[in-house]
Chains A and B, each alone.
Chain A
Amino acid sequence: MKRLFILLVLAVLALASFTDKADAQCKQQLVYQCATQTEKAIYLRDFNTKLKRDSPDEETGMKWTVVLNKGTQYRFSLCAPDGFQEQVVLTLYDSEHPENSKPYGCTYDKVTKSDRKSFDFICNKTGMYYISIRFKPGEGGKKGCAVGILSFVGKSKS
């Protein structure tokens, strides 16, 4: 019995280590790939998450807060492993522009049902904003990871 217990503990630890390693790998590969695809924009920060949805109504993904500065053009890019990209969406919003009703921008257009890998945002008010990465409505079921990249495009010219 004692041996069985030790084996179980080892199995649990191995699984934990494997999960962490897989996550780290997902993060490292995707962040580098995504950050270096932003052309001349300067990489500022990344947001990475694991995604898994067991039921269609389940809320998945994560949100982060980020301070954006007035007078700056930012680029938000989304990267996910092959076959997973079209299932996820990155959204920029704040308390006055809620995520589900009128966000500032997102990588998926619900009307045209089209995806874009990135969008640029000209910030005219310094403050705290939110970034979320989630499954699109009705998508999911498969476990995966996704990375968002925030980069500096330049001083706003608008």
Chain B
Amino acid sequence: MRNKWLGSLALVCVTFMQFSCGGCNGGGSEDDIKFIPGDDVNTSEVNYNSDAMNEVIASFSSPVEMAALLKDSGVPFSTRYLVNPDQVKDYTSSFKKALGLGILSADLGYLNVYSKTSQILDYLVSIRGLTEDLKLGQFFDFQALKRLATSEDNIDSLQYMCVNSYQDMDEHLRNNQRSNLSALLVTGVWVESLYLITQVAKEQPSDQFKETIGEQKGILNNLLPILKIFKNTDKNFEELVQYLEELKEVLDVAKITVHVDENTQAREDGIIVQNEYSVVELSKEELQEIITTTEKIRNKIVK
């Protein structure tokens, strides 16, 4: 009898230890993940274990980064680039909802960066609906966000809270065997961010936007293998992978070369300047093709 109790106790302790280790495992691992730069890569041959896959998903950009770049480049605000927040009310599957949550998170980031607090509320309402349906409502404090959105003085706190909520939701999904939804969340953010910059580049062409767009080839080459893994277990991913393969085809024409500038050093103000730099070659016609394909795919995804 005593042995039986001790056995049960040991089982509880082991379970607890596993639970504790899972908690401290939140995002890092000791295995190096290789970034696939883009050229001559067959993305169907890339294999990830689940930890490595989660690490790659977690590495993708924040929902405010592209908007921050656009604002810093002097691009004026425009609602024309954004999805109608009411559109997501028609989404019925978790697949669509997670993808829509990523897209709306990028749009919310755009509104936040441009301090458009008056238009944020509609997005918050739609995002709340999606988070509740996806059982992520505990990470989205709608009342607090709504309160912050009523004044432009709170924009920093609002921005912080929105990004933090997004990050918590993404982390929760990855830590709870819902990496498929996490992958959709980051795909939604990425597609919408690419859509934002390509729309701006269409109206205000610049070398900087062209380079940023061309370099998305590398990001897609890291995202696509992950979506392909889920394609095997969830048929919904098939269509998405097909769309992104189409986008990969037009992004793949971008030629990216890396050079080293031996003379580059840390600046006097202490800022570290990377001495390797990439150069993106992309013709006007090739860029136009990427813009058109991105627009087509993004509009299919949000439909």
Contact = CB atoms under 8 A, between A and B. Distances in A.
Interface stretch (B123-131, B214-222, B285-293): B214-222
Interface stretch (B8-16, B100-108, B139-147, B173-181): B8-16
A119 interface: yes
A127 interface: yes
Contacts of B62: 44-45, 150
A29 to B, nearest CB: 13
B220 to A, nearest CB: 11
Interface of A: 1-2, 4-5, 8-9, 12, 15-16, 19-20, 23, 31-32, 35-36, 42-50, 62-67, 69-73, 95-96, 104-105, 116, 119-128, 132, 150, 152, 154-155, 158
B258 A125 contact: yes
B276 interface: yes
25 contacts: A1-B5, A16-B19, A19-B23, A31-B164, A36-B157, A42-B113, A46-B164, A46-B167, A49-B28, A63-B30, A64-B28, A64-B55, A70-B215, A70-B278, A71-B208, A73-B271, A95-B34, A104-B272, A104-B274, A120-B270, A124-B273, A124-B278, A132-B28, A150-B62, A158-B273
A16 B12 CA distance: 12
B61 A67 contact: yes
Given A19-B20, A23-B23, A126-B219, A65 B65 contact: no
Interface size class of B (residues with CB under 8 A): 35 or more
B279 to A, nearest CB: 10
A16 B160 contact: no
B60 A67 contact: yes
Which of B5, B28, B64 has the most A CB atoms < 10 Å from its CB? B28
Given A44-B62, A45-B167, A65-B33, A71 B271 contact: no
B218 A35 contact: no
Nearest to B209: A71
Contacts of B61: 44, 67, 69
Chain A to chain B: the 6 pairs with minimum beta-carbon distance, closest first = A62-B28, A128-B35, A124-B277, A126-B215, A44-B62, A65-B59
A119 B272 contact: yes
A93 B29 CA distance: 15
Given A70-B211, A158-B273, A8 B9 contact: yes
B301 to A, nearest CB: 21
Contacts of B30: 63
Which of B5, B60, B68, B275 counts the most A-chain CB atoms under 10 A from its CB? B68
B68 A32 contact: no
A9 B26 CA distance: 25
B235 interface: no
Contacts of A19: 20, 23
B284 interface: no
Contact of B58 (A64, A96, A155): A64
Given A16-B19, A46-B164, A67-B60, 8 more contacts: A42-B64, A46-B167, A63-B29, A116-B270, A128-B34, A128-B222, A150-B62, A155-B73
